[in-house]
């Protein structure tokens, strides 16, 4: 299978369109306790029996800490213009706090990586927080459950990063998917720090309140961080700063039922507008959330509301799939965070949302992707940076070396053909302003609580080999061919 190069979309994307690969420190670096790095909440969870699907840890992950030069060379061979990666807070400041010592070896590693990328013509996009708060801060005061104590620690960490790397890094992201961090970590309790109302799974937590408290902390601290960057660093460093939000598209189960149409919109508000409305639209949470959650949803002070609104230069967007959404006739449960809806794989006509991947929730749905891009553009009218999009594929868990069939990853190729053409169509035909696209992800990696059971990479990894041997998949070439066709020449 090859790239689906549609003649009418040739040159649809701007000449300076940024595309490349996205990763997270906790999933790729390894070296979890090497060169002064402190423990993160994911290090702790990974070492807690029964918490990771395959009982694995990210102690070595894919060793990108040691192999960054080889990885940058491979990325360059894939044609990438940009690389989005996160900094491990506990590698930079092992104990995390505002008065805790900085780790010079951590600073040096990220300096080396940034310099290697720039030397190879690859633009770094740097995420400050990708779910891995230092364990010491969780132990001291409950992490993001305590905004007052957390804020100075996060702002000091951000300041250290701006000072150390901002002369070369011009694309900053404060938080990655704050909603997933709070929902998976504090509502479902399956991600670090592992809190929920489910006492069979978690010893502590309250799924009805904590996800909203933590998300409020993320939004407010994000806004303060952006204010600091804009006032103290932007005038000399000339960079941009944004937040990256998650969100899959919700399509009515029955498009002719007003209740399902309303439920789909409510689902989009609970998932996406929860963060995007305060930051890009109103300075406050959506009315649909307040109506259901009442005082369980925190309130912004007048000062916070002003600070939050407009606190992101662009719309950072992570999205993977689409769901059919049906309204529920029963009152919402206290632990509901979806907007009292049912999410389904088929609609009222029996039509599927798309082909299955190797991940239960993820199906290929390019038409939903185009609809979502349009929904975000119409609602917020802020230029969009696609910061994550990708898929797993069935049949990739094979003994090394991988077969030719595995490396010619047809399912993933079909996914990228569909989604990238949908993105280009949204730009050319719908007028949506989209400025980047980052594939999730560069190599197969440690996929959080799924361990090594989810392979999202365009590079197959032999996890059993000491060097985590890399094998390029065909999809890496197809993505390059697609962008060579879709991006206009200077």
385 falls in which pLDDT band (50, 70, 90)? very high
Which residues, listed in sequence order, are joined to residue 245 by a DSSP beta bridge? 317
For residue 490, name the pLDDT band (cuts at 50, 70, 90). confident
Instruction: List the domain range (segments joined by +) for residue 393.
Output: 7-486
CA dist., res. 162 & res. 170, Å (int): 10
Span 320-331, average pLDDT: 97
Predicted confidence (pLDDT) per residue in 217-235, tens digit: 999 999 999 999 999 999 9
2 within a domain of the structure (yes/no): no
Beta bridge partners of 14: none
Q: Is residue 482 part of a domain?
A: yes
Write out pLDDT tens, residues 411-448: 999 999 999 999 999 999 999 999 999 999 999 999 99
Please indicate, yes or no, if residue 96 is contained in any of the structural domains: yes
pLDDT over 90 at 288, yes or no: yes
Tokens for 186, please give them. Answer: 């504090």
How many separate domains does the chain show?
1
How much is the pLDDT for 319?
Answer: 98
pLDDT in tens, 340-372: 999 999 999 999 999 999 999 999 999 999 999
Q: Given a cut of 90, is residue 400 above it in pLDDT?
A: yes
Mean pLDDT of 19-31: 98
Catalytic residue selected from 29, 177, 265, 304: 177
414 is catalytic: no
pLDDT tier, 187 (very low <50, low <70, confident <90, very high otherwise): very high
- Mean pLDDT over each residue of the chain, to the nearest integer: 98
CATH (domain of 238)? 3.20.20.80
* Residue 67 reports pLDDT greater than 90: yes
Please tell me the distance from the alpha carbon of residue 36 to that of residue 101, in angstroms, as a whole number. 11
Pick from 473, 472, 469, 471: nearest CA to 60: 469
From the candidates 138, 218, 388, 447, give the one annotated as an active-site residue. 388
Decide: 365 and 322 in contact? Cβ < 8 Å: yes
| Cβ atoms of residues 484 and 476 within 8 Å | no
CB 138 within 8 A of CB 90: no
The share of the chain scoring above pLDDT 90, in percent, equals: 100
Whether the predicted model's global pTM rises above the 0.85 cut: yes
Rounded-to-10 torsion of CA 367, 368, 372, 378 = 50
**Ramachandran angles phi, psi of 263, nearest 5°:** -65, -40
pLDDT at 357: 98
pLDDT, tens digit (0-9, with 9 covering 90-100), for 77-117: 999 999 999 999 999 999 999 999 999 999 999 999 999 99
Band of residue 280 on the pLDDT scale cut at 50, 70, 90: very high
Share of the chain above pLDDT 70, in %: 100
Query: Nearest Cα to 40, choosing from 211, 229, 210, 185?
Result: 185
Is residue 490 flagged as an active site residue? Answer: no
d(CA 447, CA 334): 29
**Measured distance CA(373)–CA(378) in Å, rounded:** 9
DSSP β-ladder status, 315-318 and 240-246: parallel
Residue 1 has pLDDT above 90, yes or no: no
Domain contains 200: yes
Q: Please report whether residue 402 resides in a domain.
A: yes
**Is 154 a member of any domain?**
yes
In tens, the pLDDT along 106-142 reads: 999 999 999 999 999 999 999 999 999 999 999 999 9
Would you say 54 and 472 are in contact if contact means Cβ atoms under 8 Å apart? no
Identify whether 1 is part of a domain.
no
Q: Number of H helices and number of E strands within the chain?
A: 18, 13
């Amino acid at each position: 299978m090859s790239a689906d190069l549609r003649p009418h979309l040739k040159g649809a994307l701007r000449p300076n369109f940024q595309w490349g690969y996205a990763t997270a420190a906790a999933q790729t670096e390894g070296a979890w306790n090497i060169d002064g790095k402190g423990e993160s909440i994911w290090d702790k969870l990974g070492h807690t029996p029964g918490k990771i699907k395959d009982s694995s840890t990210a102690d070595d992950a894919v060793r990108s800490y040691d192999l960054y030069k080889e990885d940058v060379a491979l990325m360059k061979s894939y044609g990438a213009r940009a690389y989005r990666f996160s900094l491990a807070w506990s590698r930079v400041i092992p104990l995390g706090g505002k008065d805790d010592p900085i780790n010079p070896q951590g600073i040096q590693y990220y300096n080396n990586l940034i310099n290697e990328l720039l030397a190879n013509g690859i633009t770094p996009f740097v995420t400050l927080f990708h779910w891995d708060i230092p364990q010491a801060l969780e132990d001291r005061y409950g992490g993001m459950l305590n905004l007052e104590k957390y804020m100075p620690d996060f702002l000091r960490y951000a300041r250290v990063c701006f000072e150390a790397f901002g002369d070369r890094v011009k694309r900053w992201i404060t938080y990655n998917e704050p909603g997933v961090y709070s929902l998976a970590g504090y509502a479902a309790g399956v991600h670090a720090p592992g809190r929920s109302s489910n006492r069979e799974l978690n010893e502590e937590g309250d799924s009805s309140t904590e996800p909203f408290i933590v998300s409020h902390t993320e939004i407010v601290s994000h806004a303060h961080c952006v204010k600091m960057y804009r006032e103290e660093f932007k005038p000399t460093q000339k960079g941009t700063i944004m937040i990256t939000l998650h969100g899959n598209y919700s399509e009515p189960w029955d498009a002719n039922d007003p209740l399902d149409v309303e439920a789909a919109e409510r689902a989009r508000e609970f998932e996406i507008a929860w963060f995007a409305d305060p930051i890009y639209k109103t300075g406050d949470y959506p009315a649909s959330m307040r109506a259901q959650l009442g005082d369980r949803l925190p309130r912004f002070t007048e000062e916070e509301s002003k600070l939050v609104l407009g606190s992101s230069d662009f719309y950072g967007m992570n999205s993977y799939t689409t769901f059919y959404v049906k309204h529920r006739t029963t009152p919402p449960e206290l632990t509901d965070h979806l907007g009292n809806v049912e999410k389904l794989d088929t609609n009222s006509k029996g039509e599927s949302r798309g082909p299955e991947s190797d991940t239960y929730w993820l199906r290929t749905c390019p038409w939903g992707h185009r609809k979502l891009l349009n929904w975000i553009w119409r609602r917020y009218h802020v230029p969009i940076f696609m910061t994550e999009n990708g898929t797993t594929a069935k049949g990739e868990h094979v003994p090394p070396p991988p077969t030719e069939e595995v490396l010619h990853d047809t399912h993933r190729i079909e996914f990228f053909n569909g989604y990238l053409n949908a993105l280009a169509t949204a730009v050319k035909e719908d007028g949506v302003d989209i400025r980047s696209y980052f594939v999730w992800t560069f190599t197969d990696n440690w996929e959080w609580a799924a361990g090594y059971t989810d392979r999202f990479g365009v590079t197959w990894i032999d996890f059993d080999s000491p060097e985590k041997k890399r094998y390029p998949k065909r999809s890496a070439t197809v993505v390059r061919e697609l962008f060579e066709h879709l991006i206009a020449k200077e």
